[in-house]
Structure 1
Amino acid sequence: MIDNRTAPYAALVLRVTLGLLFLAHAGLKIFVFTPTGTAGFFASLGLPGWLAYVTILWELAGAVALILGIWPRLASLAMIPVLLGSIFTVHGAAGFFFNNPNGGWEFPAFWIVGLIVLALIGDGAKALRPTPLRK
């Protein structure tokens, strides 16, 4: 049974937490690895370097949308390809455990599950622009 009094706040906590994770990962690419360094890493994987800049912007936009609650259901689904890309290009080959070199794929996979759960349960409390539901 779902507690309708607290469920919107659970969705809020999940939404903000997922957004903060994307904000942290974008910040890592900007402030630690630098955008140029991230582009070089992408190129070392056989990806076009410019895709690093798109990824950083995508992570920032998704983070803001999730944290503020701007179309959170759509934003959560839109962020899944970023994580799938990380699994298929970096983390998948490293194995399951995230403490392996290059990290494993279980953390991005669990992150995807969190995004799917948010898309299913709804926007949560304090969303600035809730997604209209069809009844």
Structure 2
Amino acid sequence: MIDTRTAPYAVLLLRVITGVYMLTHGLIKLFVFTPAGTAGYFQSIGLPGWLGVVTMVIEIVGGIALVLGLGTRLVALIMVPVLLGAALFGHGGNGFTFSNAGGGWEYPVLWAFVMAAIAGLGDGAYALFPLGRKTKI
């Protein structure tokens, strides 16, 4: 049974913390690794360099959107393939555990499922611009 009094706030918490994590990852790519470094890394693992910059932008813009509640369902759905791509291409060869050298694939897969859950749950409380149908939890 879902507690309709607290569920919107639980979704808010999940949405905001996930957005903060995505924003942080994008800003690390921007300010620490730089766009050129991020593109170079993507090329080193056999992906086009421009995809690294696109990933960085998706993480930054998507992270902000999640924190603010701007199109939560759509943003979360967009994040799922980004995170699965990170698991497959960036961490897939490093084993399961994220504490392995280079980080294993468990962490980005976990976040992909979290994003899928957020897409299913919707905006939660205090969303600035909800997209999609309104449902009561």
Which bin holds the TM-score, normalised by the shorter protein? Answer: over 0.9
Aligned length: 135
Give the match's secondary structure for 1:101.
Answer: coil
Measure, in 2, the Cα distance between the counterparts of 1:132 and 1:41: 36
Deviation of 1:134 (Å): 6.9
Deviation of 1:92 (Å): 1.2
Question: Structure 1: which 5+ residue stretches go unaligned?
Answer: none
What is the alpha-carbon root mean square deviation over aligned residues?
1.3
Determine if the alignment matches structure 1 residue 38 to structure 2 residue 8. Answer: no
Q: Deviations over 1:66-121 (max 9, x none)?
A: 11101101110111111111111121111100011110111111111111111112
Measure, in 1, the Cα distance between the counterparts of 2:134 and 2:10: 22
Give the match's secondary structure for 2:40.
Answer: helix
Q: Deviations over 1:39-91 (max 9, x none)?
A: 11111111111111111111111111111101101110111111111111121
Instruction: Report percent identity of matched pairs.
Output: 53
Q: TM-score, normalised by structure 1?
A: 0.94
Q: TM-score, normalised by structure 2?
A: 0.93
Equivalent position amino acid for 2:65 in 1: A
Question: Structure 2: which 5+ residue stretches go unaligned?
Answer: none
**Is 2:11–2:118's contact at 8 Å kept on the other side of the alignment?**
yes
Measure, in 2, the Cα distance between the counterparts of 1:11 and 1:74: 15
1:27 is matched with 27
2:105 is matched with 105
Q: Deviations over 1:5-50 (max 9, x none)?
A: 1100000000001101111101111111111111111111111111
Runs of 4+ in 1 over 2 A off after TM superposition: none
**Is 2:9–2:124's contact at 8 Å kept on the other side of the alignment?**
yes
